[in-house]
Structure 1
Amino acid sequence: MIRSAGLLMYRRRGPALEVLLAHPGGPFWSRRDAALWTLPKGEIDEGEDPLAAARREFSEETGFVATPPFLPLGELRQKSGKRISARAFEGDADPSQLHSNLFEMEWPPRSGRLKEFPEVDRVQWCDTKPPPPS
């Protein structure tokens, strides 16, 4: 079973609560937005503490620092069977300062050329208030 851990940064703006969500990088996701935004997360290494993994992944994927206290949000199981453990923390970050680590893949497919892409290509503050019914 694959296990991942992630952190959700939140901030207060007057009565509003905003969360920082990440968009995956790479050519497969570059023109897609719907249902792709998520908290920065990644796999937990063998024997690694889930919170330590979440802090590492948050830093690697955003370049931002996560500071305690960390509030447990629980765990969910995706359709694939992967389990994701999540925590939240209060903070603030400028999305224009995003600095994500890179991954390498063959692109275009079957070209024999390797190209680097950021794991996260964008982060954005999102209001937690649901939109009004249409």
Structure 2
Amino acid sequence: MQQELRVAAYAVCVRGDEILLARWVAKDGTKRWTLPGGGMDHGEEPVQAVVREVEEETGYLAEPTVLLGIDSIRRGWINRFAGPGDFQGLRIIYEVRLTGGSLRNETGGSTDLAAWHPLGTVTALPRVELVDIGLDLWRERPPVGRSRLTDPANG
């Protein structure tokens, strides 16, 4: 069985009563809102990765202020040529504050739109579960950095 590990860094950026999100475009064309962020390059520090990704996807310069937590997902997949696979995603989630730049959309990347959304409307958005996990970590600030939404003891 082929195994794949992807390590990524994401930002929770709240300003007043709004959160900054990027709209991710899946390979099948489906569009869902996500936290700005993405995969780390080999040799890159997580803090550098989240700063780079926020700028790439939103146009803003960001500074991580708090490590909110680490989330892990695992999914199986079938590849027609390679057979079964096992994917694990390790997602490092930071709270960030903006230090410059201006809102713009990414071109030629995995997202097509960046926007501020009122916190009260997030649950009505088409979104990936990472948005809910990030907001839970931001609100609850669990001591071990694990969202109650992904903790098996709560399920």
Whole-Å separation in 1 of the counterparts to 2:99 and 2:120: 15
Provide, for residues 63-97 of structure 1, a one-character-per-residue CA deviation record: whole Å limited to 9, x for no partner: 111135x211111112331011010123499x9x4
TM-score by length of 1: 0.64
Structure 1 segments of 4+ aligned residues over 3 angstroms from their partners: 90-93, 128-131
Which has the larger share of strand? Answer: 2
- In the superposition, the TM-score normalised over structure 2's length comes to 0.56
Count of residue pairs brought into register by the alignment:
106
**1:57 Cα deviation from its structure 2 partner:** 0.7
Residue matched to 2:74: 79
The residue aligned with 1:114 is none
Asked if residue 4 in structure 1 is aligned to residue 8 in structure 2, the reply is: yes
Q: Extract unaligned runs of 5+ from structure 2.
A: 76-87, 124-155
Structural RMSD (CA): 3.0
- Aligned-pair identity in percent equals 25
More helix as a share of residues = 2
Q: 1:102 is aligned with what amino acid?
A: G
What is the CA–CA distance in structure 2 between the aligned matches of 1:128 and 1:102, rounded to whole Å? 30
| Unaligned runs of at least 5 residues, structure 1 | 104-117
